[in-house]
């Protein structure tokens, strides 16, 4: 079997926004990705720009920073 994506790749998957809320001045979305039956390979998009990675890194830094100060 040959695949387009490998373990560790950062990808976008189809999801539906269920709701949005504001917490501490930031907007958060609750989404339904419906991943239980798997996602067809053609419906997945790779994050070539690493935008998702940068956003995740920033969020983790914020969480870790807050955890340290408490």
Indicate the Cα dihedral angle 57, 30, 10, 60, nearest 10°. 10
DSSP sequence for 38-55: ---GGG-EE-TT-HHHHH
Mark residue 9 as left, alpha or beta (left: phi above 0; alpha: psi -120 to 50; beta: remaining): beta
Q: Give me 6's structure tokens.
A: 């490998």
Question: Are 39 and 9 within 8 A, CB to CB?
Answer: no
Domain ranges of the chain: 11-69
- pLDDT tens per residue across span 17-69: 999 999 888 899 999 998 888 999 999 888 777 665 666 677 777 777 765 44
Per-residue pLDDT, 61: 75
pTM comes to: 0.54
């Amino acid at each position: 079997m040959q695949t387009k994506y490998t373990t560790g790749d950062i990808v976008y998957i189809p999801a539906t926004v269920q709701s949005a809320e504001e917490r501490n001045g930031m907007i958060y979305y609750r989404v339904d990705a419906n991943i239980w039956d798997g996602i067809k390979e053609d419906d997945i998009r790779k994050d070539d720009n690493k935008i998702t990675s940068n956003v995740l890194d920033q969020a983790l830094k914020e969480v870790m920073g807050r955890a340290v100060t408490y």
